[in-house]
Structure 1
Amino acid sequence: MEESAAVAAPGPPLARLRKGYRGLDVRALANIKVEDMALAGGYFALFWLLAATNISATGGIRVAAFASAWLGIAVLGCAGVLFRRTAPSAMAWMCSLAVVGFVLAGHAGAFVLAFELFFSLVLFASAKASRLAARSAWVLAALLVLATFALTLSVAGTLTAAVVAVVTLLTPVEWAGNLRKANLLTESESARADAVHEAAEQRLLAERNAHDLALEQERAHMARELHDVISARLSAIALQSGAALQSGAAVQDPHESLLRHIRAESVAGLEELNNMIRLLHAGELTETMGKLSDLPNLVAHYQRAGTSLLFSNTVPDAGHHLPLPLQTVIYRVAAEALVNATKHAPGQGMDISLTQSPAHTILLRVTNPLPDGSGGSTVPRNGTGTGLASMHFRAAHAGGTLTAGPSDGQWIVLLTLPTPHCTEANSVTAAAPAATSSQGAIS
C-alpha cells in the first residue's frame, strides 16, 4: 500500500507543473497585454517559417514523433508567451516544455523560444525566480559547452556551442537584468519623489500649525490685554458715571444728560469689547449692536453732545429688510465716519444720508466741512489712517466700494453696497413707509 501510494503521489517536478498551471485563472487571462498577443503571433509566424524552410537546429537529434508534432509544440510555446507578464511561473513551464519538444524535433525555434523564456523570467518574474533563472542560464551555458566538447572533441563545434549559449542564454539574461534594474531604479526614484513630496506637505502642514498656534497665542495675549486694561478703564467710567447719576447732586447738575450719554456709551463699548474678547478667546462672536435701527440713536447721541448733525434715511422700510451683515457694514462705516469728523473737524456740522437707487444699490453719504487750514489734504491730520482702512475693508468684504476724500471744501465719505433683490424684500418695501427721516441741530 505504501509503495502504491508513493507511486501515485506526484513528484516535485509534477507538483511544480501543477502549481504553475493553477496560476492560469480568469484574472491572468483578462490581464494579458496586447503587445504580448502580438509577440506570440510573431513567434508563431517565425516558427512556421523555420519549419517551412527546413532549418534544423540540433543536427542528428531528431525524433520523428516530435518532428511531426511541431505545430502543437509551437502553439504551446506561443501560449506560454501570452502569460509572460501575468503568470511567469506558468509561462516558464509551458515554454520549457516547448523548448524541449523543439530540441527533440530538431526545430530551430528552440533557440528563439529559449531566448524568450530566460528574458521574460529575469524581467517579469519575482526577485527569487529572476535570480534562479539567471543562475540556471549560466549553468546551462556551461553544460552545453562542456557537453559539446565531450561529445565532439572539436574546437570549432565547441566554439559554435559557446556562441549559441551566449546568444540564446546569457544575452537575454544580461539584457533583461539591466532592464529590471532600470525599472527598479525608476520605481525607487518615483517612491523617493513621492516621499519628498509627502515630507514637504507634512512640513508645510507643521508650519501652518505652528503659525496657527502663534496666532492663537497672540489672540489670547490680546484678549488678556483688552480685558485687563481697556475693559477695566471702561468699567471704571461706567461705574463712576452711574454713581454720579445716582447721587442727589446729579439731579441738579445741568450736565446730567451728558453724564447719561457717557454712561450709555461706556456700557455699550464695554459690551462690544467683551464680545471681542470672547471672539479672540474662542473664535465665537455673539450678536453686537450694528443694525440700521441703532443709527438714529447714534445720531441722537452726537446731537445731544452738541454736534450739528443732519440725518436722512430714504431707504424703503428704513433698511430693516436688508441682511444683517449689510446693516452692520452701514452702521459701522457711519459710526467711524462720525468719529473721524468730530476728531479731525471739531465744531463743524455733518450731514448723513442713506438712500437706495432703482438698481437696489445702497448709498451712504457722510459729509462735513473741511477745517480751516487743512488745505484740502486728502489725509486727515493727527490720525493713523486705521479708521479709513477699516472702512475700506468692511466695504470690500460686503462686495461694495468706499471712497473718502475732499471735494469742494467738504470731506465726503461715500459707501456703495449692492443689495440682494428678492420678492420678500419687495413686498416688505411696498408695505413700509416710503421714507423716514430725522434731523436736528444743536448749536
Structure 2
Amino acid sequence: MAIESSKLVSARPSLWNRVRLQLGVGVFLAVLAPWAVRLQIARNDAELVGLQASVIGTFVGLVLGYYSFRRLSRYPGVRASYHILPSFSASYGLVLAVFFFARLDYSRLQFLVSFLICIVWYYVIYSKLQRQKRLRIGVVPYGDVAMLTEIKEVSWIRLTEQGPMPDVDAIVADLRADIPDQWERFLADRALEGTLIMHVKQMQESLTGRVAIEHLSENNFGSLIPGIVYAKAKRAGDFAAAVLLLPLLLPFLLLVAIAIRIDSPGPVLFRQQRMGYRGHPFRMFKFRSMTHQPMAAEDARSAAMTQDDDHRVTRIGRYLRRYRIDELPQIVNIIKGEMSWIGPRPEAVPLSLWYESELPFYRYRHIVRPGITGWAQVKQGHVADVDDVLWKLHYDFYYIKNFSFWLDVLIVARTFRTIVSGYGAR
C-alpha cells in the first residue's frame, strides 16, 4: 500500500536542476575562465591588481544574481527565463556601483565578459528545464481538494491506498480536514523524507498568484498588517529613488509635456482624487492622455472608467498609456508619501466607493500604499467591471499577504516586460 511505505521518496531532481551544476559551472565559465585568459595577457602590475579585484567582484555578482533569480522563480506564474537578465543586471550593476563609489581598481572587460557568459549559461540551463515534463503534484483525496483540478498547468495525481507511490514533485492535502490516521502518518513520513507537503489553500495561492477572499486572510506572521519593518524600509527606498530619478527624468518629462500640448488642447497634467493609503483620498498626477472634457458631478463614476478602445484617448495618449509614460508624474506623489513605486493601483474615489459597496473587504487593499505598478497590473491588467475587480482583488490580497522585497523585485522585472508588450493598457 502506498501510504504504508516509509522508504519511498520524491523524484530526484534532474541534472540540470541541481544547484551544484548551475552555480559551480557558472562560476567556472563566467568568473574563472575569463580571469585565466586575461591573466595571460595582462601587461603590468596595475592591470593584475584590478583583475584580482574583478574576480572577487564578478563572483559576488554571479552568486547574488543566482540566488535572487532562484527566489524570484518560486513565485506563481513565473517563467524562469524571463527573469534571468533583470536578476543578473541588478546584481552585477550593484557590485559595479560599489567598485565605482569606493574608487577600487577593476577590469571593465572582465565584468563585461563575465556578465555575458553568465547570461548565456543560465539561458541554456532553463531552456533545458523548460523542455521537461510539467509539474506533477500528488493529491490526498480528503477534504476540499476538488478545486485544484481547475488549474490546468499541473498534472494532478490522485493518491490511493493501493499500489506504489507515484513520482511527484510535491503533495497537497487539506490539512484542516478530518484525515484518517494512516494518511496522517503517510504525510509525516513524506515530510521527514524531504517531500514538499502543502495545504490546499497555500498550493492554490502559489500556483495562481491569487488569494481567495471568502474571509480576510492573515499573512505568514498571523497578522492582517503587512510587515512593518519592510514597510518602513520600502518607504525610505521609494523616497530616495524618486528624489534621485526626478532630476534625471525632467528633460524627458518636459518633452512629453510639449508633445501633449501640441497634440490636443487642455492641461498637460490630469489631476484626480484617488483613494489612498489607509483609506485617505489624495490628488494623483498623470500626464493627460484623453481629450479634455469636463464632466458633471453625477457622471463622475462613469467618467472615471476607461473602456477598451476608448474614443477619448488622444493620438499621443495611446503611446503614453501603452508604455506607461502617463504614470511618471506620480513620482511627485511618491515623494509626498501618498504612493509607492509598487502596490495596488489607486482607484478614483467614486469608483472606490462603489466597489466598497459591492465587494466585501475591498477597503483592506488600502492597508499598503498604492503604487505606480503592482502584482494585479502585471498579472491581469486594467479592469473596471465589478466581476473583474473582484478577480483583481484576489491578486491585491496576494500581494498584501506576501508583502516582501522579493515579490517587489519580481513585479519590477515583470513590469519591464509588460511595458514592452503593452499588456493591460487601455
Q: One fold, TM greater than 0.5?
A: no
TM-score normalised per structure 1: 0.18
**Which has the larger share of helix?**
1
TM-score normalised per structure 2: 0.19
Which of structures 1 and 2 has the larger relative contact order (alpha carbons within 8 angstroms, sep 6+)?
Answer: 2
